[in-house]
Structure 1
């Protein structure tokens, strides 16, 4: 198939591209490189089915008009503003990228009947209650403009399914981590903790550290995202992706650094957008796509640590 991946030079995006190429498809990447990096796609440039990286913005209609002459079969839409703090500081930028950009992609796909797989986030949810995981019917509670923009994106994506019959799927991944994730301020907690541990720096935990996260290894996330594009079973559906178990940030820090003297609690930078408990119920993905996570938290942390060591990011 001919496939477009927006945001394909980003952390999760490059794994989606890798999976699609391994499956034998021709893949184009559109990325403005605000979050993505050209280096993330370096390994794929020699693949004859990698059709190139187009440096451009999903808000640029001219670029989209030209690109969509390629007659795509599927569009995996990951291009977005992804940083919660940035969305609080600059809600307009996040809204334009995540809502207007998504609308532009949908319009192109509607004209050509291209399936859309939309990358949302678990940040749209209210917290998990007790030991019950969050399923797709769980209450939503967008506590940041980032979550609000993603929820708006989801709704407009699903509206194209109901109004036009366009095949679309919304994926809500839980906290995804792994190789190629940034290890700085915009990175995830696992990557930042590992980088600090390897550099002999303290692991800083926001607040009391009792907040929990369901941590999903990136290759598992990409595998589900790609499978959703292949299957009509999930057309018009919202589907969770997660490990199915959660860990407190305190416990995560203890897994990564053995000496508790290197664990430091600091004031929360955006406590109003903190979700106390995130735990995924991925039964829908299991039933409709025969998907389940293959990597344990311990294995995923080990693979991520090996990657950080190999890239000398410390």
Structure 2
């Protein structure tokens, strides 16, 4: 199958959630792609201005709009002021742990963001939507590896919001012939991942290593995840945009390799050269037990293969958080 390549060079691009973990790395790569204009939308629920420091150095004209993408009127007004945008990468999200504390807020906010962007796309405010889903929409693996045809069996309100958003995007493609792509990342890791409120397991482990905190292991530690280094995820997304032809397609982004949480802890301890204090806790409600992706579709469309091995990525990540801890302690 032959695909016509398209480029982001010279395009006007907007990134929701662009000050977040994956979003800020995407922003860095978009600058390297040579976009003509780049706008970041973020309400700093989790995003950090410091994540955009490198982007501002490379692109002083970067625009930052501090607003809530779930607000219909606010978002529409922003697009009206900006004029026609070529591409929107949608990463704005309320994360999974919040859905266990405030499920209605998490679900409603995530679905509203997707709904508002679909409407703006339908009405011609921008040309292409690249919507970020989540492997959590699948729930625990029923078959492995998990292809894009795996049933969606969400088990948290967050996961339900991501599944609902995916369905919504696909209905807009089918009903209104809009240009949209759904990318479904599995577990990302790397520098800038949130290590405070709603932190992921790798930042929590490193908080135990460098901050003197006790790492809490929920359940027996046999839960598995499919980790991919954040810059590889960004590369895959940009490759999909470049080759994308079939509107409404869903594509997994992952390494295709799984590791248990207890083995992850052991691997990080081996790199560090010392143990991390741990407390074993009861399982968390809604904790997916197994995730491992089938990446056949991604490879067939783009030829993509991760550039950063898991071990190398962990070394880079550990060094980032080591330096961050040292900076914080020196204040």
Range class of TM-score, shorter chain: over 0.9
Number of residue pairs aligned between Structure 1 and Structure 2: 310
Q: Does 1:21 align with 2:36?
A: no
CA drift of 1:93 comes to 1.0
Matches within 5 A, 1:19-168: 19-25=29-35, 26-48=37-59, 50-69=61-80, 70-82=83-95, 84-112=96-124, 114-128=127-141, 132-168=144-180
Deviates more, 1:231-240 or 1:257-266: 257-266
Unaligned regions of 5+ residues in structure 2, if any?
1-10
Matches within 5 A, 1:1-314: 1-25=11-35, 26-48=37-59, 50-69=61-80, 70-82=83-95, 84-112=96-124, 114-128=127-141, 132-258=144-270, 259=274, 262-268=277-283, 270-271=284-285, 273-312=286-325
Mapped partners of 1:6, 1:50: distance in 2: 17
Q: What does the per-residue CA deviation read over 1:73-102, in whole Å, with 9 as the maximum and x for residues that have no partner?
A: 1100111111x2311221221122111121
Structure 2 CA distance for partners of 1:210 and 1:97, relative to 1, 3 Å? same
Structure 2 CA distance for partners of 1:307 and 1:167, relative to 1, 3 Å? same
SS of match in other structure, 1:195: helix
Structure 2 CA distance for partners of 1:72 and 1:278, relative to 1, 3 Å? same
Mapped partners of 2:276, 2:317: distance in 1: 23
CA drift of 1:236 comes to 1.3
Contact 1:203-1:264 at 8 Å conserved across structures: yes
SS of match in other structure, 2:100: helix
CA drift of 1:50 comes to 4.3
Q: What does the per-residue CA deviation read over 1:199-219, in whole Å, with 9 as the maximum and x for residues that have no partner?
A: 344432111001111111111
Contact 1:253-1:263 at 8 Å conserved across structures: no
| TM-align CA RMSD | 1.8
SS of match in other structure, 1:275: coil
CA drift of 1:47 comes to 3.1
Contact 1:12-1:222 at 8 Å conserved across structures: yes
Structure 2 CA distance for partners of 1:210 and 1:114, relative to 1, 3 Å? same
Mapped partners of 1:247, 1:12: distance in 2: 21
